[in-house]
Chain A
Amino acid sequence: MPITGVKGSFRDPSGRVYEVDGRIVRTIRPSFLQQFEFVKSTGLFDRLESEGHLLPVRVINEEIPRHFPEGGVSALLEAPRVPFISHPYEWPFSALKAAALLHLDIHLTALERDVTLSDASAYNVQFQGCHPVFIDHLSFRRYQPGELWQAHRQFCEAFLLPLLLRALFGCPHNAWYRGHVEGISLEEFSRLLRWHHYFNRNLLTHVILQSWLQHTGRSTAYNLPKTGAIPTALPRERFQRLLRDLRDWIAGMSPADRQPSTWQEYVNQNSYDQAERGVKKRFITDFVAMTSTVEVWDFGCNAGEYSKAALEGGASRVVGFDFDQGALEACFKRSVDEGLAIQTVFLDVANPSPSQGWGQMERLGLRERASGGAVLALAFMHHLVISKNIPFGELLDWLMELAPRGVIEFVPKSDPMVQRLLHLREDIFPDYTWEYWHAHVQRMARILKTKRVSSTGRTLIAYERN
């Protein structure tokens, strides 16, 4: 029976996550059992689960001897599999903000029941559509009156500073976060601040003062308590006020770069009309219904128009990928406003998320998360081929390896949008033809349907891999 340890769970000494025959199980070690039992007895898990804030788990202790005969496991939990694990460096601003607020709300609810969160890793939050959900039951432990918030700095680096980067400077967090993996470091971020930021009370407290104390306190750190709880150091009401202040501050944050981005406006500026869009939507809806596809990955999702069409065709969920921050925000907002199961993910296809972190396995890359569903790539490939010089055939291979079926749109060179891309550069793309494309897809897949959707020659192909 294959049991694989999930690499991202190595930090927590209280238990570990394993994959057993496709199921996700979580061990609790003897040293943490008492803490877990206490938290469970407070009713906190039941409340958070009923609110949809916490992934529900089932205790399956009867399976311990079968899966862990060597011992060392005091309890075993089974959690439902989150369909698409995403990383904070793949979230748009609004998603990171929703995750931060969820973390703080859960902590405030927990403190009322004498429970606290022992860490503030952003990876403990995952998304179901646009809804953040907390996934780590072992982060909860008994609160000791007066103890400090151990994870304050971690919260700042994992949530607060990435949000501030966009809210203060209009700079998306994604690239910087991906480089550091655990967030944006306090010391580096504080170097960006200017004198006028000193007049912001929250910035002064959580960023400027913390950074200054970090710097100057380093040499006197031997005078500080070694680790752990310090009774009466931070009375509970001050702890709660700290969390509430952060919550209010973050809730009011919005990106500083408010002008519409290129692709946010694209839906209203492209070269094809409403009727053609209707034809595309029907094609997608029919494809999803015909193939009974459950999960769709929509590359270049823009504001989620075709993601929505996939849901209307019967898909249970869509992961919408885009590299344009404005488009991602529009898609996230549509998902929230219309209650759609669209998960919005930042992705530059020319540089997709790699597997990284400890052992280069801690946070899996996009390819390692390949879907059993379908890919959509509408009005997408010509940008990568013509703007980024990605070989046409290689791009097709990459897309078709991610899922067993899909719909891809071919946009010919005669199309005004491609002409615009070619306007200032030499045409060095002899392979970019319908014939090459059609033959390439046919080599690997069965073509289910083709449909010309515009007078300029845009054509959709639905395929199923051999």
Chain B
Amino acid sequence: MVGRRVAAMGFMVLLFSVATVQPASAYVDPGSGSILLQLILGGIAGIGVVAKLYWQRLKHGVSHFLRKP
């Protein structure tokens, strides 16, 4: 539960920070892998986002598995 709370908090921090800044002009497509990697390398807020993304996937996977006859 603590992990989820940290992850959710990290995600909220990130969303808040994204919402408050204009994107820089750039013509490079960074790629989601690079973004996620740098969020992890960047520290706690980033790890929170990634954990949140994968926690949802894990939950979905487990519930899917348990629902199988």
Interface positions of A (Cβ within 8 A of B) = 11-14, 31-32, 118-120, 141, 144, 146-154, 156, 186, 205-206, 209-218, 220-221, 223-235, 238, 242
> For residues 19 through 53 of chain B, which have their beta carbon under 8 Å from a beta carbon of chain A?
20-43, 45-46, 49-50, 52-53
Contact A11 B27 (CB under 8 A): yes
Question: Which residues of the partner chain A approach B42 to less than 8 Å between Cβ atoms?
Answer: 148, 233-235, 238
CB distance from B60 to the nearest CB of A (A): 10
CB distance from B33 to the nearest CB of A (A): 3
Check B68 for interface membership: any CB of A closer than 8 A: no
Check B63 for interface membership: any CB of A closer than 8 A: no
Contact A210 B30 (CB under 8 A): no
Check B14 for interface membership: any CB of A closer than 8 A: yes
Q: Sort A-B residue pairs by CB-CB distance and give the 7 closest, nearest first.
A: A228-B23, A214-B33, A153-B34, A153-B31, A234-B42, A213-B36, A217-B32
Contact B34 A227 (CB under 8 A): no
Q: Closest residue of chain B to A230, judged by CB?
A: B18
**A152 CA to B39 CA, complexed, in Å:** 12
Q: Closest residue of chain A to B35, judged by CB?
A: A224
Question: Which residues of the partner chain B approach A223 to less than 8 Å between Cβ atoms?
Answer: 11, 49, 52-53
CB distance from B57 to the nearest CB of A (A): 7
Question: Which residues of the partner chain B approach A149 to less than 8 Å between Cβ atoms?
Answer: 34, 38
Q: Closest residue of chain B to A218, judged by CB?
A: B32
**A217 CA to B25 CA, complexed, in Å:** 23
Contact B33 A232 (CB under 8 A): no
Q: How large is the interface on B (under 10, 10 to 19, 20 to 34, 35 or more residues)?
A: 35 or more
Question: Which residues of the partner chain B approach A210 to less than 8 Å between Cβ atoms?
Answer: 31, 33-34, 37
**A265 CA to B39 CA, complexed, in Å:** 49
Per DSSP, are chain B's interface residues mostly helix, strand or loop, or mixed? Answer: helix
A-B contact pairs, 20 of them (CB 8 A): A119-B28, A148-B34, A153-B29, A209-B37, A209-B40, A210-B33, A211-B33, A213-B36, A214-B31, A217-B32, A217-B35, A226-B23, A227-B23, A229-B22, A232-B13, A232-B45, A233-B42, A234-B46, A235-B42, A238-B43
Question: Which residues of the partner chain B approach A226 to less than 8 Å between Cβ atoms?
Answer: 18, 23
CB distance from B58 to the nearest CB of A (A): 11
Question: Which residues of the partner chain A approach B22 to less than 8 Å between Cβ atoms?
Answer: 228-229
Indicate whether A14 sits within 8 Å of B25 (C-beta atoms), given known contacts A153-B33, A153-B34, A224-B32: yes
Question: Which residues of the partner chain A approach B52 to less than 8 Å between Cβ atoms?
Answer: 223
Contact B17 A214 (CB under 8 A): no
**A235 CA to B49 CA, complexed, in Å:** 16
**A445 CA to B27 CA, complexed, in Å:** 49
Contact B25 A32 (CB under 8 A): yes
Q: Closest residue of chain B to A226, judged by CB?
A: B23
**A212 CA to B33 CA, complexed, in Å:** 7
**A403 CA to B33 CA, complexed, in Å:** 47
Contact A214 B27 (CB under 8 A): no
Question: Which residues of the partner chain B approach A227 to less than 8 Å between Cβ atoms?
Answer: 23, 26, 30
Contact A224 B24 (CB under 8 A): no
CB distance from B43 to the nearest CB of A (A): 7
**A242 CA to B43 CA, complexed, in Å:** 13
Contact B32 A233 (CB under 8 A): no
Contact B30 A153 (CB under 8 A): yes
**A216 CA to B42 CA, complexed, in Å:** 19
Q: Closest residue of chain A to B30, judged by CB?
A: A150
Indicate whether A231 sits within 8 Å of B28 (C-beta atoms), given known contacts A152-B38, A217-B53: no
Contact B37 A213 (CB under 8 A): yes
Q: Closest residue of chain A to B50, judged by CB?
A: A213
CB distance from B26 to the nearest CB of A (A): 5
**A138 CA to B25 CA, complexed, in Å:** 12
Contact A119 B37 (CB under 8 A): no
Q: Identify 16 new A-B residue pairs, CB closer than 8 A, beyond the known A149-B34, A220-B53, A235-B43.
A: A32-B25, A118-B25, A120-B28, A150-B24, A152-B30, A153-B34, A186-B33, A209-B40, A214-B32, A226-B18, A228-B21, A233-B39, A235-B42, A238-B41, A238-B43, A242-B41
Question: Which residues of the partner chain B approach A156 to less than 8 Å between Cβ atoms?
Answer: 34
**A234 CA to B23 CA, complexed, in Å:** 15
- From B21, B24, B43, B57, residue with most partner A Cβ within 10 Å: B24
Contact B26 A150 (CB under 8 A): yes
